[in-house]
Structure 1
């Protein structure tokens, strides 16, 4: 394993265990079993190291989505499986999820990070397109519809993470709420 990869893995472990504030270049070097100066030789700064973690994480998500997208399941089942994957990721790795989807620096990044983020989105968008072709979702620009569906799931995950997902408000769970949304979006069969 290269030194860069060891440092990225160490930063990801620290991020998962203690959030972004736990990721210092000194702590990353120590966690990787390297000198405290090693990260400075491979990454311009902490932001560059976090961008590398985000790039690898987006690639991992895209890799996990690919078999769902290529599976013989019905399109709507693929979409729910992909949403389940994202929901599980957000719950199991909340700090990394925030880095990917709530961090302004990540959103503004270009280069390889942007390429991997778009690759992940394109898997999701392609599944939405399949649902549209199967008449499970309305005819609308697939990028817009995919973004709206993801934004809703993201908002629900945020509400859940903040302890504000309450059945008395009509939101029993993220999954049930997403299933309701998809049912509401389904074109009527006249």
Structure 2
């Protein structure tokens, strides 16, 4: 593993342990055991390092969704499995999740980061399309339905992260909400 990858891994761990404020180039260098100037050989600044973490994690999602897509389970099961992975990531790594999906600086970067985000979305859209082709989901434009599913899952994760998910409001977990959403939009 190269130094750039080690720096990205260290930044991800710092995000997990202390949130975005914990990620400085100096702290990342210290965690990897390199000089405080070494990160600048790989990343222009802190923002570029955080974008590197986001891009790496998005590419992991893409590969994961591709793997799920190639599995033998029914299409609606594949979609449910992909959404479960998405939810598990958001719950296990809330700071990284916010970085990927709620940080306006990350969203506006473009380039390879935007390509990675669009590839992830496209793989999720393939799963939605497969479920539509099997007759499990409504026959509306696939990208529109994927966007709705994506937004719903993000909303549920944000609801939970903000401490607003209570049984008095109808859900006890994000996955309860995801399962309800899939039941509501499924063609029976």
User: TM-score band, normalised by the shorter chain?
Assistant: over 0.9
Secondary structure of 2:136 counterpart: coil
Q: Separation in 2 of the partners of 1:173 and 1:7?
A: 34
Q: Is 2:140 aligned against 1:140?
A: yes
- 3-state SS, counterpart of residue 73 of structure 2: coil
Gaps of 5+ in 1: none
Runs in 1 of length 4+ with deviation above 4 angstroms?
none
1:90 paired residue number: 90
Structure 1 vs Structure 2 CA RMSD? 1.2
Question: How many residues are paired up?
Answer: 188
Q: What is the deviation of 1:27?
A: 0.4
Quote the residue 2:78 is aligned against. 78
**Structure 1 CA distance for aligned equivalents of residues 175 and 42 of structure 2:** 41
Distance in 2 (CA, whole Å) between partners of 1:175 and 1:5 is 32
- Superposed, 1:116-155 pairs within 5 Å as 116-155=116-155
- Mapped partners of 1:60, 1:75: distance in 2: 21
C-alpha distance in 2, partners of 1:41/1:169?
49
Indicate the residue corresponding to 1:104 in structure 2.
Answer: 104
Q: How far, CA to CA, are the matches of 1:131 and 1:5 in structure 2? A: 36
Q: Which moved more, 1:65-74 or 1:82-91?
A: 65-74
- TM-fit CA distance, 1:182: 1.5
Structure 1 residue 186: Cα displacement: 2.1
Q: What residue is the counterpart of 1:181 in the other structure?
A: 181
Q: Which moved more, 1:163-172 or 1:24-33?
A: 163-172
State TM-score, norm by structure 1.
0.94
Aligned to 1:64: 64
Cα distance per residue 1:22-44 (max 9 Å; x no partner): 00011011111101111122211
Distance 1:169 1:4 in 2: 44
- Taking the aligned partners of 2:66 and 2:17, their CA distance within structure 1 comes to 27
Q: Distance in 1 between matches of 2:7 and 2:170?
A: 44
Residues in 2 aligned to 1:64 and 1:177: alpha-carbon distance in whole angstroms: 22
